[in-house]
Structure 1
Amino acid sequence: MDARRVALRFILAFHLIASASSTCVIGCSCTDDNLGRSLLCTEASMEHIPEDMPHDFSKVRIEKCHLTELPPGSLSRLGALEFLWLNFNEIRVMNMESLKGLANLTELRLQGNRLTSVPWTAFQDTPRLKILDLKHNSLDALPEDALSYLPALTYLDLSFNRLSVISRDVFIHWPLYQAAEKAWGKEGLVSNVVLALHDNPWLCDCHLKGFVDFVRTVSPPIILMSSYLMCSGPVSKAGKFFHDTQLKTCMKPQTSAPETNVTLPLGAKATLACSIKARPRATIQWIHNQQIMGAFAAIETHIDDDSSSSQLVIPSLQPPHQGLYTCIASNFMGNSSVNITVNIPSSSYSAPPPPPVPMRSDNAAHIDVRIAKQTAHGITLEWTLTTDNPAATWLTLHFGKYDSPRKETIYVGPGISSHSFADLLPVTKYEACVTLRGRPPRGGRCVVFVTGSNAGELEQRARLLHVIVLVSAVLVAVPAGVYACTTGARISCVEQCAGLWKERRRRREGGDSFDGVQAASDEGLCRHSKEKRRGKSEERCKGSSAAYLY
C-alpha cells in the first residue's frame, strides 16, 4: 500500500506541474516546438499586454489586438523571450523602459502600427537584437545616435514611413557599419546588413546630401533592400531617383539690393527690391526703422532652387514711410540682411497730397488694421500706427460682436501692435473699429468679418473659425472731413471719394473733428452719387467686388 501511495503522489505532482506549464492566456493559443513555447493572439480585443502571461514563452505574437501602448516593464517577466511580434495593432506610444528585462530578444516586429517616434535608448535593454521591423508606421525622424544602441542589428526596415531627411551620421555611428567599414573588401569577416528605406517622402535638398552620397556609395556587406530611392520634393526634383540627383551643400543666405538709396516725391509709388541666394530657401522678412512691417505685404518670387527675390511695394509714399528698410533672409545656416534708405525730397511737401485721403493739418496719422492670424479658437489683429507725434497714444481699438454696444477696448500707440481674441463663436459677425481715444465706435472705420459654422466634431475643430473678411483693412486719416476708401474699392470710387471730400469740406468748413471721418465702400459711394449721376454709375455699382461696410 505504501508503494502505491508514493506512486499516486508522484503522478499527481507531475500532472500539476504539467498543467501549470501549459497555462495559456485566455482568448489565445499556445504551442510548443523546437524553438520553445509560443503564444499566439490574433484579433482579440485586449488593448494592453496581458499581466498574467506565463514566463516560459520564447515567442510572443500579438497581432490585430488593438494594443495602443507598450508600458514600462510590461514584458519584463519574459526573460526567455527571443521573438516578439506586435504587428498591425494601434500602438502609438513606446516607453523608454518598454523592453526592460528582454536581454535575450533577437527579433522585434512592429509593422503597421501608429508610432510617430521611437525611444531609441530603449534598445540598450536588448543587446542581442538582430531584426527590427518598423515599416508602415509614421516615423518622421531618425536621430544621429539612433543605431548606436543596436550593436548586433543585421536587419532594419524603415520603409513606408514619413522620413524626409536623414543625416549620414546615423549610419556612421552604427557599430555594425563601423565594423563593416574596417573589414571592407574582406569577405566573410562581417555579416551582411540589410536596410529597407524605400517609400519615404524624401526631401532632396541640401539637408539630404550626405545621405544621398551614402546611398550611392554603399556596397556589401551593407545591402539596401531597394536601392532605387526616390525624391518626393522639392518640385524640381520630385520623382527623380537618388542616383540621378545632384545635391549641393547647404549655404547661409546672401542678400543684395539693386538700389540701396531711394528718393521719390510725395505720393509716388515705391518698390523696394531685395535679392536672396540661400540653400535651403530662406525665410524673408522686412522691417522699417527696427519694427516689423505690417502695413504693406511683400511679394516673393522664386527664381530657382537657390535664388529668390522679394519686393515691398508702397502704393503712395507719405512722410511716415521715410527711413531705413531692412530685408532679412534666414535659414538654419544663419541670416543675412541688406538696408535700403527711403527719402522724400523737401521740395515735394509743397504739393498737395494725392486722393483718396487729402489732409489739411500737420497732425496727420495713418493706421492700418488687418487680421494677421487665424486659429481654431480666434484671431490675431495687427495694426500699424504712424503719426507726426510718436509720443502720443490717442487712438482706441474696439473689438466685439457687430451688433453689441459693449466692446473690448485697446489703446493704440505708434508703431506696430497686435492683440489676440480667443473663444470666438461660430456663425457670428465681429468687428474691430478705430476711434479717437474715449470716443465710442461707429461704422466706417472697421474690420468686419463673419466666423463659419461649427461642424461639431473634434476632427473638424481646426476648421471651426472659417473667417470671411468683409472689410479686410482700414486706412484712417486725421483730421476729418475725409472719406477713406476701403481695401478693394474700384478706381471710379477713388475718384468719387475725392469729389465727395471737396463737397463735404465746403459744407462743413471749420467744424469737423476726427469723429467726422467716414469710410465708404463702392456701394456707399455709388449710392451717394446716384442723385447726380445715373446710367454709368449704376452699372458700376452692379457686380461690385469691393468690401462692404455693415
Structure 2
Amino acid sequence: MDGFCVAFGISFLMYFITPGSSTCLKGCSCVDETLGRSLLCMETYMGQIPEDIPRDFTKIRMENCHLMELPLGSFSKLGTLEFLWLNFNDITLMDIKSLQGLANLTELRLQGNKLTSVPWTAFQDTPRLKILDLKHNRLDVLPEYSLKHLPVLTYLDLSFNQLSVISKDVFMNWPLYQKAERVWAKEGSVSNVVLALHDNPWLCDCRLKGFVEFIQAVRPPIILMNSYLLCSGPASKVDTFFHKIQLKTCTKPVASAPETNINVPPGANVTLSCLVKARPGPSIEWMNSQKIIRGFTATVTRIDEETVNSTLVIPSLYLANGGLYTCLASNFIGNSSAEITVNISALSNSAPLLPPSPILSPDENTSIDIRIAKQTVYGITVEWRAAMENPSETWFTIHFGKYDSPKRETIYIGPGINSYSVSDLLPVTKYEVCVTLKNHPPREGQCVVFVTGSDVSEMEQRERLIHIVVVVCIMVLSVPVGMYACTTEARFSCAERCGNLWRKPYLWSRNRNRQEAEFQGVESQGPESQGIDSLGAFDSLQVASDEVLCRDLQGKAKKKQKSDDRCKGGSAAYLY
C-alpha cells in the first residue's frame, strides 16, 4: 500500500511539472480543460505579443492588454491553437504573416481594435477558420478578393466599421458562397453562413448598386445578422433602408455649355455656365489656356440627382481675361469638358482694353513680400503683400512645383486675395512657390523654397529615438577603455542616462470611462463583451544623450590628437 501511494504521488507531481503544463505567463491565468489548456490574460499590460508563450495551449484570450500590432509569426510556435481572442486592444497593424503556423485555428476574434485594413492573404495560413469577428474596428475598404482564402468560414462580423462602398463581387468571389449556392440549387439545403454588415456609413449612390441588389436578394446560405441596413448618404437617402431604394448604374460625366461663344465689352462682368450630368456626382474645375483658375468665384448648384450646374463669375473683364475657358468635370469612371470662348471687343476709344498698369506692364521696382503662414506634412499656406496703387484691381500669378523640376503649375489669383493654400503635397519633398504680377516671370525675392515634413507618426518617432539612444549608450558602454577619447565626465553621463532610461518604470492607470465611451452600443454577446477596461498611456518621457564615441582608425600615434578634435561637442536628443 505504501508503495502504491509513493508511486501515485510521484506520478501526480510529474503531471504538474511536465514542461508546458505548469508554466504560465506573468499576470495571466492558465486552465486545464477537457479540450486542452487555456491562457487567459485580462487587463494585463503587455504592449506586444509575448515570445515565451507555452506551446500546448488550444485557446488564448488576451483582452485589454494594450497590444499594438500582430507582427510576423506572432503565434507561429502554437501549432495546436484553435481559439484566439484578442478583443479590446489597440491593434492597428496586422502583418501579412501574422497568422503563420496556425493551421488548426478555427476562431479569431479581433473586436474593438483600431484596424483600418486587414491583409486578407494572411488567412492562407488558417484554412480551417470558421469564425472571424472584426466588429468595432475602422475598416473602410473590402477588396474584391478579400474572402478568397476563407473557404470554410461560417461567421463573419464586419459591423460597426467605416465601410461606405463595397462591391457584390466580394461575395461572388467567396469560394464558400459559390459552393453553397451550387449545393442549395441542387439539394435545397446547406449549412448557413452568418454575415454582419450593419452600422456602417453606407453611401447609397450608383457605386453601391450591385451590393444593394445583393442584400435585397440575399437568401440562404447567407443569413444577415441584421437585414435592415441603412444609408448614411447622400442627403436624399439618409436613413433609408436598403430594401426601399433603387439605384442606377454609374455613368461618366457629360459636360455641356448653354453658350459656347460670348462677346462682351471690356470692364463688364460675365458669368460662364456649365451643365454636367454624371453618376456619381463629379468634381469640376475651370481652366483658362490650360491653367487652373483661382480667384474667380466658382459655384456648383444641384439641379437634380444626376445634374449639376457650375458657374464661373469673372468681374471687370480686361483684354487679358479673354480667350478659351474650359469646364472640366470628372468622376472615378472618366471625365468630360465643355469649352467657352470669351471675346472682348472695345466699344469706344476710351474703353479700357488692358488692365490697370500694374497688372501687365512690367515694373521692376514693384516689390512683393512672400512668407509661409502655415505648413504641415502635406500642405502649405503662403501669404504675400505688394505695394500697389490699385490693390483691388491687381492680379497675381502663382508659380508652384517641385524645386528640381522645370514644370510649374501656374495659377491666377484675383484681386483682393493675398493667400494661397495647397493640401496634397508629398512628404519630405523640396518645393518652390513664387508670387508675381499676372503673366510676369518670377524674379529674385518673389520665391520661397521649403521642404515638407515627414509623415512618420509621433509614436514611431519616439520609438526610433529611444532605440537610437539605447543603442548609442550600449555601444559606448561596451567599447574597451582604450577606444575612448572623450572625457571621464562624458562617459559617466552616458552610463547614468542609460541606467535611468532602463530603470524608469512604465506608468499606467485605469480609465474605464474611455473604453465605455468608445464601445458604447456594443451588445453583450458572451464573455468577449465583458470586463471592458482601459490602460492609460505612458507618461511623457524625456531622455537626453550627450555621448560622443571617438575612435582612432588611422594609427596609435595620432589617436589622442584626433580624439580631442572630435570630442569638443555633444549631441542631445529629446523625446516627448
Pairs within 5 Å for 1:207-286: 207-286=207-286
2:127 aligned with 1:133:
no
Checking the alignment, whether the CA contact within 8 Å between 1:327 and 1:339 is kept in structure 2 is yes
**In the alignment, is residue 51 of structure 1 matched against residue 46 of structure 2?**
no
Q: CA deviation at 1:175?
A: 0.7
Q: SS of 2:209's equivalent?
A: helix
CA contact (8 A) 1:195 1:222 kept: yes
Residue 93 of structure 2 contacts residue 115 of structure 2 at CA under 8 Å; is this kept in 1?
Answer: yes
Match of 1:416 among 375, 392, 411: 411
Q: Which SS does the other structure have where 1:236 is aligned?
A: helix
Contact 2:148–2:174 (8 Å) recurs in 1: yes
- Residue deviations 1:417-448, cap 9 Å, x none? 799899xxxxxxxx98969999999xxxx9xx
Task: State the alpha-carbon separation in 2 of the partners of residues 120 and 360 from structure 1.
Answer: 61
Structure 1 runs of 4+ off > 3 angstroms? Answer: 6-14, 185-189, 357-383, 395-398, 413-422, 431-441
**Separation in structure 2 between the aligned mates of residue 289 and residue 372 of structure 1, nearest angstrom:** 28
CA displacement, residues 346-377 of structure 1 (integer Å, 9 cap, x when unaligned): x425133399x756999489999999996537
Task: Tell me the residue number matched to 1:388.
Answer: none
What is the root-mean-square deviation of aligned Cα atoms in Å? Answer: 4.2
State the AA in 2 paired with 1:225.
M
| 1:274–1:439 distance in 2 versus 1, CA, 3 Å | closer
Alpha-carbon deviation of 1:379? 3.2
Distance (whole Å) between structure 2 residues aligned to residue 164 and residue 297 of structure 1: 32
**Equivalent position amino acid for 2:352 in 1:** P
Counterpart code for 1:238: V
The 5 A counterparts of 1:22-41 are 22-41=22-41
Q: Distance in 1 between the 2:327 and 2:442 partners?
A: 38
Paired residue for 2:504?
none
SS of match in other structure, 2:148: helix
Task: Tell whether the 8 Å contact from 2:368 to 2:435 is kept in structure 1 after alignment.
Answer: no
CA gap of 1:439–1:137, structure 2 versus 1, over 3 A, is closer
Alpha-carbon distance between aligned partners in 1 of 2:64 and 2:267, rounded to the nearest angstrom: 70
Alpha carbons of 1:396 and 1:294: their partners in 2 closer, same or farther (altered >3 Å)?
A: closer
Counterparts in 2 of 1:371 and 1:309: CA distance versus 1, 3 Å? farther
Indicate the residue corresponding to 1:183 in structure 2. 183
**Is the Cα–Cα contact under 8 Å of residues 231 and 237 in structure 2 kept in the other structure?**
yes
Shift of residue 275, structure 1, vs aligned partner: 0.3
Tell me: CA distance 1:367–1:274, structure 2 relative to 1, closer, same or farther (3 Å). farther
SS of structure 2 residue aligned to 1:304: coil
The aligned amino acid for 2:124 is: Q
Task: Encode CA deviations 1:467-496: one digit per residue, 9 max, x unaligned.
Answer: xxxxxxxxxxxxxxxxxxxxxxxxxxxxxx
**1:394-405 equivalences in 2 (<5 Å):** none
Match of 2:101 in 1: 101
| Cα 1:188–1:56 shift into 2, 3 Å | farther
Structure-2 residue corresponding to 1:464: none
Displacement of 1:292: 1.5
2:116 and 2:196 map into 1 onto residues whose CA distance is: 18
**Separation in 1, partners of 2:152, 2:443:** 76
Amino acid at match of 1:290: Q
C-alpha distance 254-321 of structure 1, shift in aligned 2 (>3 A): same
How far 1:380 sits from its partner (Å)?
A: 4.0
- The answer to whether the Cα contact below 8 Å between 2:92 and 2:114 also exists between their aligned partners in 1 is yes
2 CA distance for matches of 1:275 and 1:369? 40
Once residues 162 and 31 of structure 2 are traced to their aligned partners in structure 1, the CA distance between those partners, rounded to angstroms, is 37
Structure 2 unmatched ranges of 5 or more? 385-395, 400-407, 414-419, 426-433, 447-457, 460-576
Question: Partner amino acid for 2:280?
Answer: P
Residue 380 of structure 2 aligns with which residue? 379
Where does residue 351 of structure 2 map in the other structure?
352
Query: Residues 260 and 80 from structure 1, CA distance in 2 versus in 1: closer, same or farther, beyond 3 angstroms?
Result: same
When residues 227 and 373 of structure 1 are mapped into structure 2, their CA distance, relative to the original with a 3 A threshold, is: farther
Alignment correspondent of 1:88: 88
Give the AA of the match of 2:115.
L
- Partner of 1:490 in structure 2? none
Alignment of 1:47-86 (within 5 A): 47-86=47-86
Give the superposition deviation at 1:281.
0.8
Give the corresponding residue for 1:506: none
Structure with the higher strand share, 1 or 2: 1
- C-alpha contact (below 8 Å) 1:58/1:83 kept by paired residues: yes
Asked whether the 8 Å contact 1:268–1:315 carries over to 2, the reply is yes
Judged with a 3 Å threshold, the aligned counterparts in structure 2 of structure 1 residues 236 and 116 are, in CA distance, closer, same or farther, namely: same
Identify if the C-alpha distance between structure 1 residues 83 and 116 changes in structure 2 by more than 3 Å, giving closer, same or farther.
same
Equivalent AA in structure 2 for residue 271 of structure 1: T
Give the C-alpha shift of residue 294 in structure 1.
Answer: 2.3
Which deviates the most, 75-84 or 8-17? 8-17
Return the letter of the residue paired with 1:352: A
Could you tell me which amino acid in structure 2 is paired with residue 258 of structure 1?
P
Q: How far apart, in 2, do the equivalents of 1:152 and 1:368 lie?
A: 68
| Partner residue in 2 for 1:476 | none
CA offsets 1:315-362 (integer angstroms, 9 cap, x no match): 1111011111111100111000111111122x425133399x756999
Corresponding position of 1:513: none
Aligned CA distance change for structure 1 residues 302 and 370 (closer, same or farther; 3 Å): farther
Letter in 1 for 2:149: Y
Contact 1:295/1:368 (8 A) holds in 2: no
Structure 1 distance, partners of 2:187, 2:409, is 75
Residue 169 (structure 1) aligns with: 169
CA contact (8 A) 2:166 2:208 kept: yes
Per-residue CA deviation, residues 257-299 of structure 1 (Å, 9 max, x unaligned), is 1100001111111111100001111110111122221242311
Given that 1:397 and 1:433 are in contact with CA atoms closer than 8 Å, whether structure 2 keeps it comes out as yes
Q: Aligned in 2, Cα 1:372/1:310: closer, same or farther, shift over 3 Å?
A: farther
Task: Give CA-to-partner distance per residue, 1:93-132, whole Å, 9 cap, x none.
Answer: 1111111000000000011111111100000000000000
Structure 1 length-normalised TM: 0.66
Answer yes or no: is 1:326 the counterpart of 2:326. yes
Q: Aligned partners of 1:40, 1:332: CA distance in 2, in Å?
A: 48
* TM-score using structure 2 length: 0.64
> Which range moved further: 311-320 or 294-303?
294-303
In the alignment, the residues of structure 2 paired with residue 369 and residue 261 of structure 1 have an alpha-carbon distance, to the nearest angstrom, of 39
Aligned pairs for 1:301-340 (under 5 A) are: 301-340=301-340
Larger radius of gyration: 1
Structure 1: which 5+ runs fail to align?
384-394, 399-412, 423-430, 447-457, 460-550
Distance 1:340 1:437 in 2: 27
Q: Distance in 1 between matches of 2:273 and 2:331?
A: 20
Name the amino acid aligned to 2:323. Answer: G
Offset at residue 16 of structure 1 (A): 3.8
What is residue 490 of structure 2 aligned with on the other side?
none
- Cα gap change, 1:364/1:73 in structure 2, threshold over 3 Å: closer, same or farther? closer
Q: Return closer, same or farther for 1:270/1:217 CA change in 2, 3 Å cut-off.
A: same
The 8 Å contact of residues 382 and 417 in structure 1, kept in 2 or not, is answered as no
Secondary structure (helix, strand or coil) at the match of 1:149 reads: coil
**Contact 2:67–2:89, Cα closer than 8 Å, also in 1:** yes
Residue 23 of structure 1 and its aligned partner are, at CA, apart by 1.8
The CA deviation string for residues 137-182 of structure 1, in whole angstroms up to 9 with x for no partner, is 1111110100001001010000000000111000001011101221
Question: Quick one: structure 1 residues 62 and 319, their matched pair in 2 at CA, closer, same or farther if it must change by over 3 Å?
Answer: same
Cα shift at 1:249? 0.7
Instruction: Give the residue type in structure 2 aligned to 1:43.
Output: E
Structure 2 SS opposite 1:61: strand
Query: In percent, how many aligned pairs have the same letter?
Result: 58
Distance 1:432 1:281 in 2: 34
